[in-house]
Chains A and B, each alone.
Chain A
Amino acid sequence: MHPILSAEHVTKVFAAGRGDPVVAVDDLSVDINEGEFVCLLGASGCGKSTMLNMFAGFTQPTNGTVCLRGTPITSIEPRCGMVFQSYALFPWKTVRGNVEFGLKVRRVSKDVRRERAQQFIDMVKLTGFEDHYPTELSGGMQQRVTLARLLANDPEVLLMDEPFAALDAMTRQVMQEELLRIHDANRKTTVFITHSIDEALILSNRIVVMSARPGRVKAILPNDLPSPRHVDVQLSPEYADLKRQIWQLVESEVRHHDETNN
């Protein structure tokens, strides 16, 4: 089976003013299969956001290629839809206006647009909030709008850049449940960035552990915890085993990173 999304020997170097160029990602290769939920796990500054930005086509690799269904991604790729950590909702549009955006710019007729938007607003449980503006909603609700806006646009891949990092712990847990439910329903290929081992374990089918500075793949671990999954999977012994295993991989990285920073 061909991977839907792939990175082949990707290196990304940023020029850093007068200082030495920063190698954010170094010779990274990863394949992501159709329908998978992959978590990129790593400490801050490990280049995971850079990797995601290359999948979305916001930046291009310095070396190597990033491909969607075998074709290199060379410009912003709407088939790889992004959920941003800071929501990036249009403040001048209502919930409905935001969710309809992708369809509107593709010139989908008003009636169809409205119907599809409603379907996804219902899916993220925001029925009744269609005419609210984003500033009138809580952080969790705003992130639901972002999710509905993306899903209504029907991309082939969902890219999520620490989407729940700004939410409080309880809202985050609810959102993780929601995301699992939605993924079970539509089986969209998802690449999810997080620095939380728990979040990666709860959500993913596969975990790509990244090393810090430069960003490399440290290990790729299958996550065989039972599916459909719920947040209470955290109580199982298998979960604890996996968590210990990942922590051992990550620990040295975090310590090393911390020491070089000080």
Chain B
Amino acid sequence: MVTLGPVDDTASAAVVTEQGDLRRKIAVPWMRLISLASVVTVMTLWYVSTEYGWILPIFLPKPATVWQEAQGAFAGGLLLTDVWMSSKRVFLGFALAGIVAIPLGVAMAIWAPAKAILDPFVSLLRPLPSITWIPLTMLWLGIGESQKVAIVFMGSWIYILLYTYESTKRVDPLLIRAARNLGARDIDVMYEVIFPGALPGIITGLKVTLAISWSCVLSAEMVAAQNGLGAMIWQAKDWGNLALVLVGMLSISITVLVADQVANRIERLLLPWERDRHQ
């Protein structure tokens, strides 16, 4: 290696990256195949262990039972109603949290008194899991829709606030300086620089929080609700219908995955200048 001159060095570096590219090209389909194999293995284990009675159906139902249960739930329209009810509660609570927390987060970042006012409450409320709000919200709002929305709201707004605050704080001061040098007033700096500068961070925060909102609604529904995916799982447990519990869990996964995909689409639409980063 010592004898290699600088020219040889760059040449070998080029070869290394070429090999790296090649490796990556081969790697992608291979990795897909490995993922598929791992799923098939687990499904087979599930099938074999339940079919041959190594695991009793009261602990883990057979795949076929789950499939039947899923078809039944789907055909009756109940499953879709539950998905819809939960989604609606998440959406309302999440949107409300965004409407309240984004302006507050920006205010905290650009106006010190706002931060001084909110800081103590943020510190006190942040450690509380949203389920701890169930007793109070039930007392204030009953067990109707508004109580579920309130749980989602209480579990979501602080995260949105903190993400908004952080990303607003991190807007490059050089860009603000450049804007002012070009004659921008406070309002222009706000709308043309600070807000778009903070937007990628805010959207990342919203995406993280969306998953949190989902866990909030499910716990709220498990405690007191007539419908929704959380209530469905809880009722199925009471009836001893473990297959339906699994159907519910799978529905939650799929719904949240779909919500995440929608969020990614919206993100790409809102941040065209970060297109490269997403590819």
Residues of A within 8 A of B (CB): 56, 58, 76, 78, 80-82, 84, 86, 88, 90-93, 101-102, 104-106, 133-136, 149-150, 153
Contact = CB atoms under 8 A, between A and B. Distances in A.
Contacts of B276: 135-136
Given A90-B178, A90-B196, A92-B197, 8 more contacts: A78-B181, A82-B181, A84-B178, A88-B177, A90-B193, A105-B185, A106-B183, A150-B182
A100 to B, nearest CB: 10
Interface string B246-279: 0000000000000000000000000111001000
B117 interface: no
B184 interface: yes
A105 B183 contact: yes
Contacts of B193: 90
A99 B178 CA distance: 12
A211 to B, nearest CB: 28
Contacts of B180: 76, 78
A250 to B, nearest CB: 29
19 contacts: A58-B177, A78-B180, A78-B182, A80-B181, A81-B182, A84-B174, A88-B174, A90-B175, A91-B273, A92-B196, A92-B199, A92-B271, A104-B192, A105-B184, A106-B183, A134-B273, A135-B273, A136-B276, A149-B182
A94 B235 CA distance: 54
B181 A76 contact: yes
Interface in B143-199: 172, 174-175, 177-185, 188, 192-193, 196-197, 199
Nearest to A76: B180
Contacts of A84: 174, 178
A88 B175 contact: yes
A33 to B, nearest CB: 22
A90 B179 CA distance: 9
A101 B192 contact: yes
Contacts of B271: 92
Which 7 residue pairs of A and B lie closest in terms of their CB atoms, listed nearest first? Answer: A78-B183, A88-B178, A102-B182, A92-B196, A105-B188, A133-B273, A105-B184
B273 A81 contact: no
A78 B271 CA distance: 29
A84 B172 CA distance: 13
A105 B181 contact: no
Nearest to A53: B177
B265 to A, nearest CB: 18
A165 B19 CA distance: 34
B85 to A, nearest CB: 37
Contacts of B192: 90, 101, 104-105
Contacts of A56: 181
Nearest to A150: B182
Contacts of A133: 272-273
A49 to B, nearest CB: 13
A179 B59 CA distance: 77
Contacts of A104: 188, 192
Nearest to B188: A105
A81 to B, nearest CB: 6
Contacts of B272: 133
A150 B174 CA distance: 15
Contacts of A93: 273
Nearest to B182: A102
B167 to A, nearest CB: 13
A86 B180 CA distance: 16
B140 to A, nearest CB: 42
Contacts of B172: 88
Given A92-B197, A133-B272, A81 B175 contact: no
A105 B196 contact: no
B277 to A, nearest CB: 9
Given A88-B174, A88-B175, A133-B272, A81 B188 contact: no
Contact of B174 (A78, A86, A135, A136): A86
Contacts of A90: 175, 178-179, 192-193, 196
A119 B179 CA distance: 21
A57 to B, nearest CB: 8
B183 A102 contact: yes
Contacts of B177: 58, 76, 88
A153 B183 contact: yes
A101 B273 contact: no
